[in-house]
Amino acid sequence: MKTHAALGARPVISVSTVPALLVCLAAPAFFVLLQPWLGWTLLVVGLVVALGVDRWRVSETRPSLTRDLSLIALGLVVVSLIDLKAELDNLAMLRFTLALGGAVLLPYLVSRYLYRDHAIRFPWRGGGRWTRFQWLWLAAVLVLGWLILPFYFITSGVYTNWPVVDTPELIARLFVGVGAVGIWDELFFICTCFALLRRHFADASANVLQAIVFVSFLWELGYQAWGPALTIPFALLQGWIFLRTKSLAYVVTVHLLFDAVVFGVLVHAHNPGLLGAVFLVPAP
């Protein structure tokens, strides 16, 4: 596999940005505007333009833009096949498992066995031992989540985008669902989308492009109202953390700690008094 160094400097912006942006903009078409025809159109046009870019750069030794964008497109298409409304019944959880699992597995298999490269990797412990700063950041994530998330979910009313969890079984299902989706986020948005985009663009540009996809998915999942004011920085920060740590385990841990607070807030919002005064914002 060709390294970034072997490919030379990766541009912040180039002709390749056009097809990459078109493919990534399919995410808000699918998950924010809920217009599948627009999403499909953007994907097709993006891949056709990418093919033209690859042919124009046929003499250059670099990864195929068309192939890499096709893997992102494949994942987006698989996810777009289901309604992302949060539900906790058996059928809904199976639907999420198959669609989200397929969105990670299929691009990996196509990359590994059809394209015969290692563009998608999952470096669980790629960065070695965690530093003191990394441990402090984990604590900061909990504190920031505790301060911000109750205010966001309760005052905006977006907690109603998640089903009422008023029994031990539903609370347990919510816990599993929130955690599973959090892990999937890092597998797809960071290890798949971000990794593929970094083969063609500078880290900052690739991070912005993956954030478009990340935030769009979270919007349909339920992080609406002024949620993007939280999810955009979170998506960009997760990409930056992955670059610094090179550890999937660490970004997953950060995400799961954040989601643990999300879980607690949703239980608190749907069950006034159950958690006492653990949060500063009272349940509605």
Residue by residue, pLDDT tens for the chain (284 residues) are 344 434 458 999 999 999 999 999 999 999 999 999 999 999 999 999 999 999 987 766 789 999 999 999 999 999 999 999 999 999 999 999 999 999 999 999 999 999 999 899 999 887 788 999 999 999 999 999 999 999 999 999 999 999 999 999 999 999 999 999 999 999 999 999 999 999 999 999 999 999 999 999 999 999 999 999 999 999 999 999 999 999 999 999 999 999 999 999 999 999 998 888 899 999 99
Residues in CB range of 220: below 8 A, 6 or more apart: 30, 31, 32, 34, 84, 85
Q: What is the pLDDT of residue 7?
A: 47
Please tell me the distance from the alpha carbon of residue 149 to that of residue 127, in angstroms, as a whole number. 29
Please tell me the distance from the alpha carbon of residue 201 to that of residue 189, in angstroms, as a whole number. 16
Q: How far is CA 66 from CA 19, 43, 44, 71, 214, in A?
A: 9, 11, 11, 9, 21
Q: Which two tokens stand for residue 233?
A: 């920085």
Q: What is the pLDDT of residue 59?
A: 60
Q: Dihedral sign, CA of 160, 162, 168, 174?
A: negative
Position 101: which residue type? Answer: G
Q: What is the pLDDT of residue 9?
A: 84
Please tell me the distance from the alpha carbon of residue 211 to that of residue 242, in angstroms, as a whole number. 13
**CB-count exposure of residue 71 (10 Å: 0-12, 13-18, 19+):** buried
Q: What is the pLDDT of residues 210-235, one digit of tens each?
A: 999 999 999 999 999 999 999 999 99
Q: Are 272 and 282 in contact (CB under 8 A)?
A: yes
